[in-house]
Structure 1
Amino acid sequence: MSDTNAGGGRLTDRRRGALVGLAVGDALGAAVEFRRPGTFPPVVGYRDGGLHDLNAGEWTDDTSMALALADSLARAGWNLDDQADRYLKWLRTGAYSVNGRCFDVGVATNDALGRFEVGRDARASGDPSESASGNGSIMRLAPVAIRHVGLFPDRVEELARLGAESSLVTHASPHCLSACRYLTIVLAALMRGGDRAEVLARDWEPLRRIDEVEPFHPLIWDVASGSYRRKAPPAIRGSGWVVESLEAALWAFHDAPTFEEAVLRAVNLGEDADTIGAVCGQLAGAYWGESQIPPPLRQGLARLDMIEAALDGLLAPPHAS
């Protein structure tokens, strides 16, 4: 699929949509993070409060880390140590945060960045054990696909490799690496105007190519093969486990008629609602584009200037990096 097929303007709209969608889903879910489904009034728009007592439209670590990753890609090219440095700056100083402080960080991310701070080797900082298979690397992933969408479809293997490498910094388990490989190529395909049913199909040709290079973890392969189509809540869960998080986001997205309905389905699962919303928002934004995100959701986001600055860097020609 070429840029011509996707349409230059539509390609830009979808690239922007993936990052804006991430932030929208994050901000929608922030107020009900760690709440059990059914214990809160359904989310229909931004609301204040929640675990971190945020204002309506404010976002959490998902977006902060995505902005740090975007800044690294724009300024340093592909450099895992630089990515880790910017995450560490967020953790220690509140850079990239909506309110100037780091108020929300996952255990695996915190531990990994602590190891990087000592050892200065981002490729070795993430925990490779299966017990450390949280969703902290898929939640921030969109900038990789946005920046490197040109690798799809001819160099899809390289694109998937970059997605996995971006995870190593904080999440190095086989589950997380496979999830990032899969989500990166799906996001790029959607940005290029791919048909949703085709891209999510079990027999999608790029999926087969990636699996032949390095087989997906069986649990991620099950999700990529459509496990979410056979389930409904409570079997679909918004948990922090990367397998269930990816499954929940795809469940919310795969047959939703609009961006808004997709992300609201996701965040109303509760539990790790901000991250399920952020992952679904990446998918929905990449598919429908920023132009199809309802104005109240886009305009109601806090610190839009930070998101715009990240997009400016990601969308600049590579030689300007």
Structure 2
Amino acid sequence: MTNADRKIGCLLGLAVGDALGAAVEFMSPGSFPPVTKYRGNGPHRLDPGEWTDDTSMALALADSILSVGWDLNDQAERYLKWYRNGEYSVNGRCFDIGNATRAALQRYERSADGSTSGDPSSYSSGNGSIMRLAPVPMVAAALLSKDVARLVELAAESSLPTHASEQCLSACRYFALVLAGLINGEDRDVVLASDWAPLETLRKLHPLHPEVEAVAEGSFRQLHPPQIEGSGYVVKSLEAALWAMHDAADFREAVLRAVNLGDDADTTGAVCGQLAGAYWGWSGTPDDLRDGLAQSDMLLDFAQRLSETSAENF
């Protein structure tokens, strides 16, 4: 497994988890037959293997990075094109958008300032910025051993156009750090340890929000459903994805654990899929999930180009 394979897995894993969870989004855990493969219909009447806003926004972020480097206004402009025109969507329509994201993009239309359009209020702490994060650690993974401060700065900045609460910024910093470690081939147990050296560096730079700190300390190891929830709240979403991933035997087990939590299943799947893809790589993703993913050639093209891009050039 190569570094590029793990980077590609991070973005494509996001889309796989998103597509697996799409059919059971908004459904209570235990109220549906367990997801074992791609399934059609669901709240958005998608075909099996089609994905939702998580992947669309990740593609918009990826396209911005590939086109202009690092520019929050450009990122926000591309999210706006998805919201208003359906660009980056699997079917040409924006059929699923979180309330915080919608409100933030409407603010951006008025202000034209992506650094201030996200709501900093704690009650606006949805998972909309961790669900799309993959492109950031993909291009910034090399900074883990050189410049942790810059790595986590990029992660937090990427949240600002839509989610500016301290919970969201803190979750993005921690999540990007973990993904960068996995992309660089570090062992899962090492990266998820509460005393991992880069995590200690992060704590000195930006003390984690207390709820995110509890996750980093290992809450996902001690809790089980229903305490683990596929919630839209950023902290619970991150915790659920780590719970699904931390001792799973393989990619499939991890993402299916995540989506079968129900509720915000597509996003729990997308967050877990980033972790699983960064750990097992695209080569470690089961063939049926690779082959059944909608528009996989387009997604793979984005992922391959991102894998050749470095944030050190920003």
Q: TM-score normalised to the size of structure 1?
A: 0.96
Does residue 99 (structure 1) correspond to residue 91 (structure 2)? The answer is yes
Taking a change above 3 Å as real, the CA distance of residues 295 and 128 of structure 1, as seen in their structure-2 partners, is same
SS in 2 for 1:124: coil
| 1:161-176 paired onto structure 2 within 5 Å | 161-176=153-168
Q: Which residue of structure 1 lines up, in the alignment, with residue 65 of structure 2? A: 73
Q: Deviations over 1:239-285 (max 9, x none)?
A: 10001000000000000010000000000000000000000000000
> Which residue identity is paired with 2:36?
V
Q: Which residue of structure 1 lines up, in the alignment, with residue 9 of structure 2? A: 17
Q: Which residue of structure 2 lines up, in the alignment, with residue 4 of structure 1? A: none
Q: Determine the C-alpha separation between the residues in 1 that align with 2:93 and 2:51.
A: 12
Does residue 234 (structure 1) correspond to residue 226 (structure 2)? The answer is yes
- Choose the corresponding residue for 2:18, options 2, 8, 26: 26
Does residue 49 (structure 1) correspond to residue 41 (structure 2)? The answer is yes
- Choose the corresponding residue for 1:113, options 105, 110, 114: 105
Q: Determine the C-alpha separation between the residues in 1 that align with 2:313 and 2:106.
A: 32
Show structure 2 runs of 5+ residues with no match: none
Q: Which residue of structure 2 lines up, in the alignment, with residue 297 of structure 1? A: 289
Q: Deviations over 1:98-151 (max 9, x none)?
A: 001110000000000000011000000000000000000000000000011121
Q: How far is 1:320 from its partner?
A: 9.6
Contact 1:70 1:313 (8 Å CA) reproduced: no
Q: Which residue of structure 2 lines up, in the alignment, with residue 87 of structure 1? A: 79
Q: Which residue of structure 2 lines up, in the alignment, with residue 306 of structure 1? A: 298
Q: Determine the C-alpha separation between the residues in 2 that align with 1:26 and 1:317.
A: 24
| 1:170-189 paired onto structure 2 within 5 Å | 170-189=162-181
The runs of 4+ residues in structure 1 deviating greater than 6 Å are none
Q: Which residue of structure 1 lines up, in the alignment, with residue 140 of structure 2? A: 148
Contact 1:22 1:279 (8 Å CA) reproduced: yes
Q: How far is 1:154 from its partner?
A: 1.8
Contact 2:8 2:304 (8 Å CA) reproduced: no
Q: Determine the C-alpha separation between the residues in 2 that align with 1:127 and 1:313.
A: 32
Does residue 122 (structure 1) correspond to residue 114 (structure 2)? The answer is yes
> Which residue identity is paired with 2:148?
V
| Identity rate, percent | 61
SS in 2 for 1:170: coil
Q: Determine the C-alpha separation between the residues in 2 that align with 1:179 and 1:317.
A: 24
Contact 2:144 2:198 (8 Å CA) reproduced: no
SS in 1 for 2:171: helix
Q: Determine the C-alpha separation between the residues in 1 that align with 2:109 and 2:203.
A: 34
SS in 1 for 2:95: coil
> Which residue identity is paired with 1:310?
F
Q: TM-score normalised to the size of structure 2?
A: 0.98
Show structure 1 runs of 5+ residues with no match: 1-8
Give the length in aligned residue pairs.
Answer: 313
- Which range moves more in the overlay, 297-306 or 186-195? 297-306
Q: Determine the C-alpha separation between the residues in 2 that align with 1:165 and 1:198.
A: 26
Taking a change above 3 Å as real, the CA distance of residues 224 and 146 of structure 1, as seen in their structure-2 partners, is same
Contact 1:71 1:313 (8 Å CA) reproduced: no
Q: Determine the C-alpha separation between the residues in 2 that align with 1:249 and 1:312.
A: 25
